[in-house]
Amino acid sequence: MAEVQEKDNTWIIVGVCIAAIILLVVMLKKDETKHLQSGAVAELQKETFTKIEKRHTSNNSTAAEISGK
């Protein structure tokens, strides 16, 4: 007599897992770049570069300034 073969759902489970991982990565990537739209990064960079420039100009003292004249 012919044996009844069990249906193997392994590939269906693997496919669903892959789809879920792809969906999760897309959702997390979208959430990760949300802060770039607010302009906060540009404002922070502007402030940082201003402070760096100020530090560079204050460190470049002339010999007369160093001697206190």
Going by pLDDT thresholds of 50, 70 and 90, the confidence category of residue 63 is low
Residue percentage of the chain with pLDDT more than 90: 30
pTM of the model: 0.45
| Token output for 47 | 């402030």
Domain residue limits, the chain: 13-58
Residue 39 scores a pLDDT above 60: yes
Average pLDDT, rounded, for the chain: 80
* Interval 7-36: pLDDT, tens: 889 999 999 999 999 999 999 988 777 766
